[in-house]
Structure 1
Amino acid sequence: MGERILDVKNLKINFHTYAGDVKAIRDVSFHLDKGETLAIVGESGSGKSVTTKSLMGLLANNAEVVGGSIMYRGEDLLKKTEKEMQEIRGKDIAMIFQDPMTSLDPTMKIGRQIAEPLMIHKNVDKKKAWAQALEILKLVGIANAEERINDYPHQFSGGQRQRIVIAIALVCYPEILIADEPTTALDVTIQAQILNLMKELQQKIETSIIFITHDLGVVAGMADRVAVMYAGQIIEYGTVDEIFYNPKHPYTWGLLNSMPTLSSTKLEAIPGTPPDLLDPPKGDPFAARNPYAMKIDAEKQPPFFKVSDTHYAATWLLHKDAPKITPPDEILRRQKIWQEMQAAAK
């Protein structure tokens, strides 16, 4: 157990729309320990980005937090004013967004964009801030940093721009770094470089990372713990090995089953679409797409069942009276590896 630096409890967020209130985040709780990486995984629209934007106080105008708390250093971020959040944003909690081009100012030299947070948050003078900007530019692997610091965003490639965005996020050495699909727009080799870079920098500056992605493959080498989100709720969470090799929720099975592996040539898609959150179902939100659904799934929302001290899943399949079912072959293959891992650990 590390030192806990962030604790989100029972977070509920609605979006007011012409059609009615969309219940986008429905009772989400998770925590983050010092120096660890928590991955939040789920399909588009599951609520990953909304959850993390609420940590930064960056929700859209039509969003309303209707319940819960976000405790950081003993204080509830939801109770802070915009001015107080501006103090925290960028300095203590920083964010890397999906598309680097929309995060960078096209009219400003990148050196100034990296130096600015230092001048604003840490009152560093211009000369020192530029020197630090140069250091971090080298740290994130931009070649010829001395010359490039005076270039504009359009003079860099996509991968380089993403490195610059990471440099801006890390220049104040934040305690928490939120990375929202930071590698989506990049090709696979650049993606691997960026992920390795984030891991390296994390060790150097002891930042805790919340990593948001729809791609479970990215998570394997990156995260310590994983929370799987579906329809505005967390439905399973555990250590990265527990989620990868001993998953318990049929939705997690579906996500893993749809990942390309060396042994499988056929990719399985999860049939159907997520429920409409204007009118969420009263039972398990995944019931309509779940091939193993039982009658109770349509009637009652499952609680979290404990698999281990670190692993919980919200599925009726874990109830002691539930019928025994056989998971898909890919999941059985993973569970076999899990058993071997457990045996080797003893």
Structure 2
Amino acid sequence: MENILEVKNLHVSFDTYGGEVQAVRGVTFDLKKGETLAIVGESGSGKSVTTRALAKLIPSPPGRIKEGEILFEGKNLAQLSEREMQKIRGKDISTIFQDPMTSLNPTMKIGSQVMEGLLKHHKISKKEARKRTLELLDLVGLPDAEKRIDQYPHQFSGGQRQRVVIAIALACGPKILIADEPTTALDVTIQAQILELMKDIQKKVDSSIIFITHDLGVVANVADRVAVMYAGKIVEIGTADEIFYNPKHPYTWGLLGSMPTLDNEEESLVAIPGSPPDMLNPPTGDAFAARNEYAMEIDFVEQPPMFKVSDTHYAATWLLHEHAPKVEPPLAVQSRMKDNLHANVPGERKKEGDRS
């Protein structure tokens, strides 16, 4: 499958009074046409900063892309001017942000907000833009679009506002859709509806999605591939099945172990001890070493490379070195790998669908 985006050795820093905060440190990944790549990790791991850098939405100052390439259709976005990026944002790369209320202009009718991108990028008439807007509102499942197109954001519920935000993001038929925790501010019922909506829309418009979240339950339902981030780096990347059934990094084990399930009420959650490192002064070795019960001496002095597990699965942990001791995930994690996530992982869901 052809790559639509390639990110190579991306470094993003913020200059503060206390010094340089190294928010993203050497991130490398690709995005294929039509796939959904989920980026997961704790708050502060660099997920949102990475995706904001892709659209060059890092405020400068204090932020800056310090190093690296963001290759989209042969162009290095990191080197484009703001004027050049304005032609790409909304048209080729769109973003759905976490809180729909802060994403929408409270003084503008929602129809005008959806039409804005159409009028800017497609140079069509207002009549044509309004017709297209009604189609988009229908596509995202907003009832009575003819009436609601002339209403204001405060007249919509949280889930309806998020549908409007998705319509805005889809207006120009973007090739890449960045969804930055788009369901976090919603209750679980509406969250499920929005996730189903995004999967359905992706099939219809054939866009690629980068999905940012800290919720592995969400990841299991939407992602083709998963990248796990910690302290500004990708520490493991692979298909959803590989990450859920054969995780190799202790941090990924921790994330899986801390995920609640409904299947076993007696099973306790596994907390990750400690807290993420200070990115003003990142550790010399593996950033996760201080929180890793399996850490070896080398973890504190040298960063691990990306070890190849399979053609699609890589993990940055010294535990994969040929001379490292054999270590298995904690029992609670193994239990989740085998049972608790069985019904949610994409590969299993497809099998169930085939039987129906």
Q: Give the TM-score category using the shorter length.
A: over 0.9
2-structure distance, mates of 1:137, 1:169: 12
SS of residue paired to 1:26? strand
2-structure distance, mates of 1:137, 1:279: 47
Which residues of structure 1 form unaligned runs of 5+? Answer: none
SS of residue paired to 1:220? helix
Find the counterpart in structure 2 of residue 55 from structure 1: 54
Whether the 8 Å contact between 1:140 and 1:167 is mirrored in structure 2 is: yes
Find the counterpart in structure 2 of residue 106 from structure 1: 106
Q: Does 1:33 align with 2:32?
A: yes
Structure 1, residues 42-79: CA drift from partner, whole Å, max 9, x if none? 00000001100011111022111111000000110011
Q: Does 1:157 align with 2:162?
A: no
Whether the 8 Å contact between 2:256 and 2:336 is mirrored in structure 1 is: no
Whether the 8 Å contact between 1:245 and 1:331 is mirrored in structure 2 is: no
Find the counterpart in structure 1 of residue 203 from structure 2: 203
Q: What is the CA-CA distance between 1:330 and the residue it aligns to?
A: 2.6
2-structure distance, mates of 1:335, 1:108: 47
Find the counterpart in structure 1 of residue 289 from structure 2: 287
2-structure distance, mates of 1:334, 1:186: 26
Structure 1, residues 215-259: CA drift from partner, whole Å, max 9, x if none? 111001101000000000000000000001110000000000000
Structure 1, residues 187-225: CA drift from partner, whole Å, max 9, x if none? 111001000100110010000000000111100110100
Find the counterpart in structure 1 of residue 68 from structure 2: 68
AA of the residue aligned to 1:301? Q
Find the counterpart in structure 2 of residue 9 from structure 1: 8
AA of the residue aligned to 1:306? K
**Identical residues among aligned pairs (%):** 66
TM-score normalised by the chain length of structure 1: 0.96
1-structure distance, mates of 2:209, 2:144: 28
Whether the 8 Å contact between 2:40 and 2:215 is mirrored in structure 1 is: yes
Find the counterpart in structure 2 of residue 240 from structure 1: 240
1:223–1:80: structure 2 CA closer, same or farther, 3 Å change rule?
Answer: same
Structure 1, residues 118-169: CA drift from partner, whole Å, max 9, x if none? 0001101100000100011011111111111110000000000000000000
AA of the residue aligned to 1:296? I
AA of the residue aligned to 1:26? R
Q: What is the CA-CA distance between 1:335 and the residue it aligns to?
A: 5.1
SS of residue paired to 1:271? coil
SS of residue paired to 2:167? helix
Whether the 8 Å contact between 1:41 and 1:227 is mirrored in structure 2 is: yes
Whether the 8 Å contact between 1:93 and 1:175 is mirrored in structure 2 is: yes
1-structure distance, mates of 2:231, 2:298: 18
1-structure distance, mates of 2:32, 2:59: 28
2-structure distance, mates of 1:335, 1:221: 15
Whether the 8 Å contact between 2:270 and 2:332 is mirrored in structure 1 is: no
Alignment of 1:83-232 (within 5 A): 83-232=83-232
Whether the 8 Å contact between 2:257 and 2:336 is mirrored in structure 1 is: no
AA of the residue aligned to 2:17? Y
Whether the 8 Å contact between 1:246 and 1:334 is mirrored in structure 2 is: no
1:310 to 308, 312, 326: 312
Cα RMSD of the aligned pairs, angstroms, is 1.6
Find the counterpart in structure 2 of residue 328 from structure 1: 330
2-structure distance, mates of 1:90, 1:141: 21
Give aligned pairs, total.
341
1-structure distance, mates of 2:310, 2:152: 51
2-structure distance, mates of 1:334, 1:140: 34
Structure 1, residues 257-305: CA drift from partner, whole Å, max 9, x if none? 0001223531222111001111110110000000111111111111111
1-structure distance, mates of 2:92, 2:319: 41
Whether the 8 Å contact between 1:5 and 1:33 is mirrored in structure 2 is: yes
Whether the 8 Å contact between 2:224 and 2:239 is mirrored in structure 1 is: yes
AA of the residue aligned to 2:18? A
Q: Does 1:77 align with 2:77?
A: yes
Which residues of structure 2 form unaligned runs of 5+? Answer: 342-346, 352-356
1-structure distance, mates of 2:72, 2:223: 21
AA of the residue aligned to 1:271? P
2-structure distance, mates of 1:128, 1:114: 12
AA of the residue aligned to 1:187? D
AA of the residue aligned to 1:60? P
Whether the 8 Å contact between 1:8 and 1:71 is mirrored in structure 2 is: yes
For structure 1, which segment, 273-282 or 322-331, has the greater mean C-alpha deviation from structure 2 after superposition? Answer: 322-331
AA of the residue aligned to 1:20? G
Q: What is the CA-CA distance between 1:82 and the residue it aligns to?
A: 0.3
SS of residue paired to 1:46? coil
2-structure distance, mates of 1:165, 1:108: 13
Find the counterpart in structure 1 of residue 344 from structure 2: none
Find the counterpart in structure 1 of residue 272 from structure 2: 270
